[in-house]
Structure 1
Amino acid sequence: GGSATAASEESASRDTAAASGKHYLCGYCAAFTNIAVTFPIQKVLFRQQLYGLRTQDAVRQLRRDGLRTLYRGILPPLMQKTTTLALMFGLYAALAGTTEAVLTPFERVQTLLQDYKHHDKFTNTYQAFKVLKAYGMREYYRGLVPILLRNGPSNVLFFGLRGPIKQCLPEATSYSTHMVNDFICGGLLGAVLGFLFFPVNVVKTRMQAQIGGEFQSFSKVLVKIWLERDRKLIHLFRGAHLNYHRSVLSWGIINATYEFLL
Structure 2
Amino acid sequence: MAGSHDEKVQRKKTKEEEDRRGTVINFQRYLHGGTSSLLSTLPTLIVFPVYKTIFRQQIHNTVIHQAVRQLYKEGPLKLYRGVAPPLVMRTLNGTLLFGLQDTVLQHLSLTSQNIIPAAALPAVAGFFTGIVEAVVFTPFERVQNVLQNSRNDQNVPSLKSVLVRLKGQGMALGFYRALLPITARNALGSSLYFGLKEPIRAVVAGQGFSALTSSFISGTVISMATSLTLFPLSVLVANMQAQVGGEGKGAVACWKILLKSRQQSVIHLYRGGSLVVLRSCITWGITTAIYDRQEKKQTS
* TM-score range normalised by the length of the shorter chain: over 0.9
CA RMSD of aligned residues (A): 1.8
**Deviations for 1:232-255, whole angstroms, at most 9, x for unmatched residues?**
111001110111121122211111
Residue 252 of structure 1: aligned partner: 285
Note closer, same or farther for the CA distance 1:127–1:20 as it changes in structure 2 (3 Å cut).
farther
Q: Which segment is superposed worse, 247-256 or 31-40?
A: 31-40
Q: Per the alignment, in what secondary structure is the counterpart of residue 226 of structure 2? A: helix
TM-score (norm 2): 0.81
Look at both structures and tell me which one has the larger radius of gyration over its CA atoms. Answer: 2
Residue 132 of structure 2: aligned partner: 99
Picking from 192, 212, 217, the partner of 2:250 is: 217
Picking from 150, 174, 179, the partner of 1:144 is: 179
Within 5 Å, which residues of 2 pair with 1:84-233? Answer: 84-92=93-101, 93-102=126-135, 103-138=137-172, 139-171=174-206, 177-233=210-266
1:4 to 2:10 alignment: yes
Cα offset, 1:123, TM superposition: 4.2
Letter in 2 for 1:83: L
Note closer, same or farther for the CA distance 1:173–1:118 as it changes in structure 2 (3 Å cut).
same
CA–CA distance in structure 2, aligned partners of residues 62 and 81 of structure 1: 23
Cα offset, 1:129, TM superposition: 1.4
Q: Per the alignment, in what secondary structure is the counterpart of residue 94 of structure 2? A: helix
Letter in 2 for 1:221: C
Task: Mark the runs of 5 or more structure 2 residues left unpaired by the alignment.
Answer: 1-5, 102-125, 296-300
Task: Mark the runs of 5 or more structure 1 residues left unpaired by the alignment.
Answer: none
Higher relative contact order (CA closer than 8 Å, sequence separation 6+): 1
CA–CA distance in structure 1, aligned partners of residues 91 and 35 of structure 2: 7
In the comparison of the two structures, how many residue pairs are matched? Answer: 260
**Equivalent residues of 2:205, 2:211 under 8 A apart:** no
4+ aligned runs moved over 4 Å, structure 1 = none
Percent identical: 33
